[in-house]
Chain A
Amino acid sequence: MDRFSRDASRERHEELIEIIGTGIEKGSTRISDFQADGLSLPVLESLADDGHILIEGENIRLTPKGQREFLNLIRRHRLAERLLFDILKMSDEEGTEEIVCKMEHIISDDFTDAICTLLGHPTTCPHGRPIPPGRCCELRKERVKPLVSNLTQMKPGEKGDIAFISTIDHEKMDRLAGMGLIPGVEIRVHQLHPAVVILFDETTLSMDDDYAKIVYVRRK
């Protein structure tokens, strides 16, 4: 097997794990669900033989090994999305999703952690799905100074532009947008205690940490 086809087969394998993992994340566990997505029974069986998935009657679930691999992949995928969409401001029309899909197969763990740290350890992707935490999130090892940080990590008096809102709670996103707090808005942090108070345009807005933790700002 030459190098190219080896990489291609690994990429194919990772794609399969990703489809199954994402499917399970969204709540589908039946074999028929995945067959509808184009996964044939032999393919599923070969994954089961490798010890990545378990087939129990009509249902599929990931083994611990498969789950580990899936979380790793999806973490790379969603961090890459944050980087490309929110920081590099690439739009959907530029084929950004395709780039992301390629990136997730080639970036190393260290590189992934570096992106994560740079972005201030975000917890969700732009679609509002969770990003599994990596080692860097627990250690908070800040080898690179984060470019983006959430409001609770700012100091009073600091200014910045909203980079993104990161949460799976869409209600909170709507509330913030309703207040006019969307990416690109310039804000100033006035105080952090007893509640976070920020200023933007002619608005003074106070919020507790539940909200402040999901608003990520690019410092000025």
Chain B
Amino acid sequence: MKNHPHTTDDIKLNLESRQFRGHRRRHHLKYIAREQKTKKIILVGAPNVGKSVIFSNLTGKYVDVSNYPGTSVEISSGFIYIGDELFQLIDSPGINGLVPRSEDEQVTLNLLSDPEVAGIIQVIDTKNFRRGLTMTHQLVEFELPMVVCLNIYDEALERGIIIDAAALQRIFGIEFVTAVATEGRGMNTLRKSLSRMKISHHKIKYHPLIEEAVSEISSRIESKSIGLRGAILNFIASEGKTPVKLFKNPPETDSFIQSTVRNLVKKLPCPPGFGIQTKLIKHIESYTDNFLKIEKKPRHHFKEKLGFLTMHPWYGIPFILVVLFILYELVGVFGAGVCVDFLENHIFGGIENGESFGLINPFFIRILGPLNHPGVGAFFYEMLVGQYGAITVGLTYSVAIVFPVVTLFFIFFGLLEDSGYLPRLTVMSNKLFQKIGLNGRAILPLVLGLGCDTMATFTTRILETKKERTIATLLLALGIPCSAQLGVILGMLSSISFLMLLIVVFTVILQLGIVGYAASKLLRGKPASLITEIPPFRVPKLKNILIKTYFRVKWFMIEAVPLFILGTFVLFVLAKFRLLEILEKISAPIISGILMLPKEATEAFIIGFLRRDYGAAGLFHLADKGILDIIQITVGITVMVLFVPCLANFFVIIKERGFKTAMIMSVFIVSYAVIVGGVLNQILRLFS
């Protein structure tokens, strides 16, 4: 199984024979899908089993990512040919069991109950076959054609776990395909097996009371859809918490179902979800000998020991520091420094004092030059390429500055994910985050915030509860400087005074602690408890990381670029109608009164709302001219870090948390930042 140069070959051939090229192919596929009511195939599996690698391997590059209607769960979908027929392949969220306990399971369940579903591909981490087969049994209840992929087969072999796929096939009556998806091994076999998907009839008898309830409920349901038993079992397992709409019944039937389940739960010796899963695991134990052979193998002690070292309460810390250092060098120095400089000055550029540099912006400025006459022409000229132009500022900012930073960040992030270090970082940081109402999982968005707060606010979706999402969003907006700003501040402040840099860092971190702690006490709801599987350390595959990065960057650019341009437009309007000046006048007393900064600093603060790095740079510019003393710089920078990052971030907060929350947050942050600045100013003046 070595020659798999192009795993998407047959799809490509199929498409090329239909003579479609480039992006038109994708639209064509979408068109066919709409017209012919394409059947769906659902990819199901636990987290960390290589589902998304298999997904991109099967679908190629025409992939859509969208939210499942009414949820924050993202699902990818693409197209796949089986024989001559076109199917839509949907990647469901990674789940550890089908009992609907969170949105993820809920979405998977809804996907499976869709009448358009034609089949299931289940992915199992072979070495954890017990857990995988538990889910296989649960999926079988949906009475859909299935195929199971025993993925990460190499790791199982390394551990001396030998699974006889043919034996499993005999037990279930469906195909089991062994694979190592990251290397493309087994993918062709999997693809071929799709045309031979079958319905398994290997069903289990559960507790007699459960069976009784299932038959009672299904006799009352009129629309006898496929997989009804599966849906009912999961409804029971969730103790009636799955929305009944799954079945589409008249209300009296719904209340009958509800009361049947309530009575059942009272009579059962243990909670039904737990009971069902326990029964399955025990059932699997009864036939394990038929398909499993264990060989004693020497373990990879080094990898394992290293894996545990990175989670050790003390020895784990140096690893974190090294990771943070690499992050800083790669994203901060190389990305925000070298790449941004190149893109901003040599590619986009502009015209300053009559001198033009770079390519794109001078081109647009020249081509739009004829428009620049008083009246409507000048209005559009300024809107596109003026001081707050959509092209010269909005586009330049999102492509020249955010794009390289985000891309490098996602590459680094992909490395952390695929190597298996990320969950270990979660373990290390859990205790700390619990103090501020979050859990270790929050390290993800908060670290991403050091790259770009706008992007990070999107990723707070991975947190389980609303409370956690709100706290993380607040902390990101309040005290996590993005890489653009971080670069300027670190570079400039450290050259002025290292002590002052420490004061700024200390003050900001202190505020994160105080606000986080207060928010955790004040906001209602409880934080989700942490339970995470720690995968073994793996050597990441560059190709997979690049594919992942490509999709993530694409997603980010689609979501965020319009926001950056919208932000620029708002600023353009403010400037055009002299509202900026009014804003400056209103805020001047605060700036000079409470913060004791000269009124010239006001402009820097307002510009900072669009681009945090410009704001910081504006302050340093004033310092260069000798208008600011060292205390004023320190206070100014601290307040600027604490301020709401930028308009784009503000828009994302509105989008993710709602208008009301966004407004409350912004008002709080701005006033809190000013108060902290005022206090810091007094303290510094006292000691100087």
Contacts and interface: CB of A to CB of B under 8 A. Distances in A.
A174 B130 contact: no
Nearest to A169: B529
B89 interface: no
A92 interface: yes
B248 interface: no
B97 A174 contact: yes
A88 interface: no
B97 A177 contact: yes
Contacts of A207: 529-532
Contacts of A203: 128, 131, 533
A208 B434 contact: yes
A130 interface: no
B635 interface: no
A180 B313 contact: no
A211 B529 CA distance: 7
Given A174-B101, A178-B99, A194 B277 contact: no
A128 B95 CA distance: 24
A98 interface: no
A105 B237 CA distance: 34
A202 B101 contact: no
Interface stretch (B3-11, B171-179, B423-431, B564-572): B423-431
Given A194-B427, A197-B427, A208-B439, A202 B159 contact: yes
A197 B311 contact: yes
B423 A174 contact: no
A92 B268 CA distance: 10
B128 A201 contact: yes
Interface string B57-97: 00000000000000000000000000000000000000111
B265 to A, nearest CB: 9
A182 B277 contact: yes
A59 interface: no
A191 B312 contact: yes
Contact of B313 (A171, A194, A210, A211): A194
Interface in B247-283: 268-271, 273-274, 277-278, 281-282
B414 interface: no
A182 B280 CA distance: 11
A194 B533 contact: no
A202 B161 contact: yes
A79 B550 CA distance: 57
Contact of A178 (B97, B313, B434, B530): B97
Contact of A175 (B127, B312, B531): B531
Q: Which interface class (under 10, 10 to 19, 20 to 34, 35 or more) fits A?
A: 35 or more
A194 B281 CA distance: 30
B531 A180 contact: no
Contact of B274 (A165, A179, A204, A211): A165
B534 interface: yes
A203 B130 CA distance: 11
A127 interface: yes
B119 interface: no
Contact of A126 (B134, B270, B423, B439): B270
Contacts of A194: 311, 313, 316, 427-431
Interface string A197-219: 10001111111101100000000
Interface string B408-446: 000000000000000100111111001000011000000
B287 interface: no
Give the interface SS of chain A, mostly helix, strand, loop or mixed: mixed
B308 interface: yes
A36 to B, nearest CB: 14
B434 A170 contact: no
B323 to A, nearest CB: 16
Contacts of B159: 202
B277 A174 contact: yes
Contact of A174 (B274, B426, B440): B274
A174 B156 CA distance: 26
A126 B270 CA distance: 6
Nearest to A177: B277
Interface in A171-195: 171-180, 182-184, 190-191, 193-195
Contact of A179 (B96, B99, B439): B96
Contacts of B426: 206
Contacts of A202: 127-128, 156, 159, 161
Contact of B534 (A174, A182, A205): A205
Nearest to A206: B427
A207 B430 CA distance: 9
Given A172-B529, A208-B530, A179 B131 contact: yes
B415 to A, nearest CB: 20
Contacts of B96: 175, 178-179
Given A183-B278, A195-B430, A195-B440, A204 B273 contact: no
A178 B277 contact: yes
B239 interface: yes
A170 B261 CA distance: 15
Interface string A143-184: 000000000000000000000010000111111111110111
A210 B529 contact: yes
Contact of B308 (A174, A175, A190): A190
A34 interface: no
A95 to B, nearest CB: 13
A170 B281 contact: no
Interface string B92-136: 000111010100000000000000000000000001101100100
Nearest to A204: B534
A170 B274 contact: yes
A173 to B, nearest CB: 4
Nearest to B312: A191
A177 B533 contact: no
Interface in B127-163: 127-128, 130-131, 134, 156, 159, 161
Contact of A208 (B237, B312, B430): B430
A180 B130 contact: yes
Contact of B270 (A127, A176, A179, A193): A127
A36 B427 CA distance: 52
Interface in B521-545: 529-536
A184 B311 CA distance: 27
Nearest to A192: B313
B308 A182 contact: no
Nearest to A171: B101
A177 B131 CA distance: 9
Contacts of B431: 193-195
A174 B237 contact: yes
Contacts of B532: 205-207
Chain A to chain B: the 8 pairs with minimum beta-carbon distance, closest first? A178-B97, A210-B529, A177-B277, A178-B96, A202-B127, A204-B534, A174-B273, A170-B271
24 contacts: A127-B271, A174-B101, A174-B277, A175-B531, A178-B96, A179-B96, A179-B531, A182-B278, A191-B312, A193-B313, A194-B313, A194-B316, A194-B427, A194-B430, A197-B311, A201-B128, A202-B156, A203-B533, A204-B307, A206-B530, A206-B531, A206-B533, A208-B440, A210-B529
Given A126-B270, A179-B96, 19 more contacts: A127-B268, A170-B271, A175-B97, A176-B531, A177-B274, A178-B131, A182-B274, A183-B278, A191-B313, A194-B431, A195-B427, A197-B308, A197-B311, A202-B159, A203-B131, A205-B531, A205-B534, A208-B440, A210-B529
Interface of A: 85, 92, 126-128, 165, 170-180, 182-184, 190-191, 193-195, 197, 201-208, 210-211
